[in-house]
Amino acid sequence: MQNWESVNFIIVKKPENLQDVIRHDLCNRCGSCVGLSDGKISFHDRTGKYIPEIKGSLDPGISSQIWEACSGKGFDFPGQRKRIFGEESAHPYLGHYREIYIGYTADNDIRLNSGSGGILSSVLVWLLDKKMIDGAVVTGMSEAEPWLTKSYIATTKEEILQAAQSKYIITSVNEILPEMELFPGTLAYVGLPGQVQSIRLLQQMQHPSVRNIKYIFGPFYGNTLHFSSVRSFLRSFGVKDHTVIKKLYFRYGEWPGNMRAELRDGRNFELPKFHANYLIPFHILKNSLLCTDLTNEYTDISGGDAWAPVYEERGKGFSMVIARSPVGESILKQMSEEGWLQLNPIGEGEAIEMHSHGYDLKKRGAFIRMQYRGWLGKPNPDYGYNLRGFPLSRYLMELLIDALFLLLSTRLARWTVERISPRVVGKVFEKARKTWKKSTYRIKRERL
């Protein structure tokens, strides 16, 4: 296992302002700057680069709050862990936790319509049923523009379930901070790591926009894609206009699901999830490669797919669930006792093995990338710690990975792949992925 260092030697310089964060690919699109700006900042071109656009001058007080809440500039992992959980030590990969489970919801409808085992959706429904919350901040697909995501406050079971399943394109949950502040009741909040980190910073500031949040949950996180991935997916099937989309799914149907676009003219296009993953290197949001938080470490409960043959072969969907806070642990235990959830505890070793590819990506690859960026004079986010002690082979492998991402993100590469059947590309990608995983198995797990 890598050595845990409290001093981050990777950082040559830090971002100094919001423009620095945006310009140097540090913005994770959490949406806090928009939500706090009193209308002075908005997201520009949501089907394009989806970047914050500053209109006019900001009040100094608001500007200061935005900068303090910006998780793109960094997040003090050790300091925030001590503040939130009262613990200084934690597992370098898993973060602070109280218990780890493998499980699924007992509600078969929720399970079949969720990304994995439906745990987080069931938790929200249970809290609402017990009147422990009055609403939940979730992200679904927009009704007005069904090709885009939309965050909202769900107050019914039906509204919660409309937000089930993963969304792999950019979301900016925290732009609805004003709605959260005005909401007359207690909230649960669901977000990706960068979004959750900003909420934690706002809580530290005692900002009124987050005073109603009682529980924080979130999925595991690998990467986010630009909307260009959806446009490219359609073009591969000969459709040039994304506004003809009637419904868009990223994990449609039985686990692990399919990427599926339903058009207004009745046509449907679909690819198995693992085949649709070919879009990742062509359209990945660059900040995804600097995120070091795979399992959403600052939530009360986090969860994601149980990637292990014993569970994958059974289908239906199983989740790895991590209880991090006393309240999170209490919720899971009560739901299990009442028959809402089926949960079986597992140990650290099994949890790390199950997501070893992701831990290598986030806890090794991200720090190596930041080191390379530092050598080039680019600013890096300050996470308050660094993992070190990687073998030379891992550094060399990262150079190859970064070169591939750079090459495949070019217009020529995207144009080329769109002229090949996505079913062919998907199958080739899946075979190449398996070959890559097998050939790099030793390098990725050396000292892991």
Contact, 143 vs 163, CB < 8 A?
no
Q: What is the predicted pLDDT for the residue at 46? A: 95
Question: Minimal CA–CA distance to 137: which of 122, 159, 169, 111?
Answer: 159
Q: List all residues 6 or more positions away from 238 whose beta carbon is below 8 Å from its beta carbon.
A: none
Tokens linked to 430: 């899946």
Least confidently predicted of 6-20, 222-236, 357-371? 6-20
Question: Minimal CA–CA distance to 126: which of 318, 316, 334?
Answer: 334
Residue with tokens 């900003």: 198
Q: What is the predicted pLDDT for the residue at 9? A: 47
> What's the mean pLDDT in 104-131?
94
> What's the mean pLDDT in 179-208?
98
pLDDT over 60 (residue 1): no
Q: What is the predicted pLDDT for the residue at 12? A: 55
Q: What is the predicted pLDDT for the residue at 361? A: 92
Place 439 in a pLDDT band, splitting at 50, 70 and 90.
confident
Q: What is the predicted pLDDT for the residue at 34? A: 97
Q: What is the predicted pLDDT for the residue at 89? A: 76
pLDDT over 50 (residue 8): no
Question: Minimal CA–CA distance to 300: which of 319, 320, 328, 322?
Answer: 328
Contact, 219 vs 302, CB < 8 A?
yes
Q: What is the predicted pLDDT for the residue at 7? A: 42
Contact, 122 vs 340, CB < 8 A?
yes
Contact, 54 vs 30, CB < 8 A?
no
**270: region left, alpha or beta (phi > 0 left; psi from -120 to 50 alpha):** beta
Q: What is the predicted pLDDT for the residue at 190? A: 98
Distance CA 123, CA 217 (A): 9
Q: What share of the chain in percent tops pLDDT 90?
A: 82
Place 390 in a pLDDT band, splitting at 50, 70 and 90.
confident
CATH value of 86-225+285-357 in 2.40.10, 3.30.1460, 3.40.640, 2.60.40? 3.40.640
pLDDT over 60 (residue 28): yes
- Torsion angles phi and psi, residue 391, rounded to 5: -70, 155
Least confidently predicted of 130-139, 189-198, 348-357? 348-357
Q: What is the predicted pLDDT for the residue at 257? A: 92
pLDDT over 80 (residue 3): no
Would the CA dihedral through 202, 206, 209, 214 be positive or negative? positive
> What proportions of the chain, in percent to the nearest 5, are helix, strand and coil?
45, 20, 35
pLDDT over 70 (residue 199): yes
Tokens linked to 350: 């099994």
Question: Minimal CA–CA distance to 78: which of 16, 9, 7?
Answer: 7
Residue with tokens 């987050």: 210
Question: For the chain, what is the mean pLDDT?
Answer: 92
Look at 1 and 167; give whichever has higher pLDDT: 167
Give the CA angle between residues 50, 405, 42 to the nearest 5°: 10
Place 290 in a pLDDT band, splitting at 50, 70 and 90.
very high
- Torsion angles phi and psi, residue 158, rounded to 5: -60, -40
Tokens linked to 56: 């006019």
Distance CA 122, CA 130 (A): 12
Q: What is the predicted pLDDT for the residue at 355? A: 92
First to last CA, the chain: 5
Q: What is the 3-state secondary structure (H, E, C) of 183-206?
A: CCCCEEEECCHHHHHHHHHHHHHC
Distance CA 192, CA 178 (A): 19
> What's the mean pLDDT in 241-263?
95
Q: How many CB atoms lie within 10 A of CB 323?
A: 24
pLDDT over 60 (residue 6): no
Domain ranges of the chain: 86-225+285-357
**Per-residue pLDDT reduced to its tens digit, 392-410:** 999 999 999 999 999 999 9
Q: What is the predicted pLDDT for the residue at 114? A: 84
Q: What is the 3-state secondary structure (H, E, C) of 117-152?
A: CCHHHHHHHHHHHCCCCCEEEEEEECCCCCCCEEEE
